[in-house]
């Protein structure tokens, strides 16, 4: 009897360990800050993770995946950055204010050429505040900031598809590449667009891009280097784990 129990015990133990292994939960998503985006995601196992602030990179050999903040894309996002630039100007940090304004790509957000022509006058004034042989006085700069913020708050809601293709162009998508697939989706309640591109002539070099609007900025996750077939499942798992944490209270518009 003792011999029989000794033989059965390892089998029972192995069965229990297998059950526990199969039922054990996977790793919890890790909190990360990507520009203005407060997110949680599960980093790919076996990949090196590099935190660059506005960009998180995951690399394994020649395989590269990135998740990056591509900057403001809505009136809320633009208002936040211009409001911040005005605060820097008021503190006398003119170079910092100009540097911040220089990062904003506003032209695609303004819907017509006529509105852009009226907008660009005060926009140029705040971008050049403190420069020139006869710099604008503080009152003129404050007036220009007010005019710019009024125009920003009147911008229409952006079209995610147009935003996505504008960013694709900025990141190297040209006439040599074409769209393989495109699908609207939602990530943690946020509007998102998944776009695969490939070489137009031979349909190789496939790349996957996920665009998500959050906090007025556009978040882009994409495959960058390496064979797509070796990254596809890892990328999809990364996207499936992505969620957004509650961000700090934003500065109210018009403050």
Q: 61: domain CATH number?
A: 3.40.1000.10
In this structure, the answer to whether residues 45 and 90 fall within a common structural domain is no
237 and 186 both lie in a single domain: yes
Question: Is 125 a residue whose pLDDT tops 50?
Answer: yes
Q: Judge whether residue 253 has pLDDT over 70.
A: no
134 shares its domain with 36: no
Q: Is residue 7 part of a domain?
A: no
Q: What is residue 24's DSSP assignment?
A: S
Closest CA relative to residue 172, chosen from 205, 202, 141: 205
Q: Cβ of 4: how many Cβ atoms within 10 Å? A: 8
Q: Assess whether 92 and 169 both reside in one domain.
A: no
In a domain, 114, yes or no: yes
CB hemisphere CA count around 133 (13 angstroms): 0
Which residues make Cβ contacts (< 8 Å) with residue 214, sequence separation at least 6?
36, 37, 190, 244
| Residue 125, domain extent | 75-153
Residues 30 and 39: beta-carbon distance below 8 Å: no
Per-residue confidence (pLDDT) for residue 28, from 0 to 100: 78
pLDDT over 60 at 100, yes or no:
yes
- 170 lies in the same domain as 64: yes
Order the strands of the 37-41 sheet from edge to edge. 30-34, 37-41, 243-244
Let me know whether 87 and 149 are in one domain: yes
Same domain, 234 and 123: no
Structural domain contains residue 232:
yes
Domain boundary at 98, 120, 153, which? 153
* 216 Rama class: left (phi>0) / alpha (psi -120 to 50) / beta: left
Mean pLDDT computed over 112-117: 91
Task: State how many domains the chain has.
Answer: 2
More confident: 24 or 192: 192
Instruction: Compute the average pLDDT of residues 132-153.
Output: 90
Does 155 or 108 have the greater pLDDT score?
155
Q: Do 169 and 61 have their domain in common?
A: yes
Amino acid 30: pLDDT = 86
pTM confidence score: 0.80
Query: Is there a single domain that holds both residue 147 and residue 121?
Result: yes
Does residue 12 belong to any structural domain of this protein? no
| pLDDT interval class at 32 (50, 70, 90) | very high
At 25, the pLDDT band (50, 70, 90 cuts) reads low
How does residue 7 score in pLDDT terms, banded at 50, 70 and 90?
very low
Distance, CA of 241 to CA of 189 (rounded, Å): 13
pLDDT value, residue 196? 96
Q: Do 128 and 204 share a domain, yes or no?
A: no
Report whether 178 contacts 197 (CB < 8 A): yes
Higher pLDDT, 234 or 5: 234
Confidence of residue 108 (pLDDT cuts 50, 70, 90): confident
Dump strand ranges (E) for the chain.
30-34, 37-41, 48-51, 55-60, 63-72, 177-187, 190-199, 207-214, 217-225, 243-244
In a shared domain, residues 149 and 163: no
φ, ψ at 101 (rounded to 5°): -65, -30
């Amino acid at each position: 009897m003792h011999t029989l129990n000794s033989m059965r015990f390892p089998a029972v133990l192995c069965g229990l360990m297998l059950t526990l292994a199969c039922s054990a939960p996977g790793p919890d998503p890790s909190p990360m800050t990507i520009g203005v985006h407060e997110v949680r995601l599960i980093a790919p196992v076996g990949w090196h993770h590099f935190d660059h602030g506005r960009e998180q990179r995951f690399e394994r050999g020649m395989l590269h995946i990135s998740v990056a903040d591509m900057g403001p894309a809505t009136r809320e996002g633009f208002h936040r950055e211009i409001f911040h630039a005005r605060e820097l100007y008021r503190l006398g940090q003119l170079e910092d204010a100009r540097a911040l304004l220089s990062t904003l790509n506003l032209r695609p957000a303004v819907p017509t050429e006529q509105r852009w022509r009226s907008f660009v006058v005060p926009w140029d004034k705040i971008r050049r505040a403190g420069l020139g042989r006869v710099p604008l006085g503080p009152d003129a700069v404050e007036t220009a900031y007010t005019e710019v913020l009024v125009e920003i708050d009147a911008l229409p809601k952006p079209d995610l598809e147009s935003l996505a293709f504008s960013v694709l162009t900025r990141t190297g998508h040209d006439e040599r590449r074409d769209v393989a697939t495109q699908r609207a989706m939602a990530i943690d309640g946020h509007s998102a667009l998944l776009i695969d591109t490939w070489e137009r002539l031979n349909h190789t070099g496939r790349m996957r891009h996920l665009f998500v609007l959050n906090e007025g900025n556009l978040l882009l996750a994409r495959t960058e280097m390496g064979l797509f077939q070796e990254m596809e499942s890892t990328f999809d798992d990364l996207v499936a784990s992505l969620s957004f944490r509650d961000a700090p209270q934003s500065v109210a518009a018009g403050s």
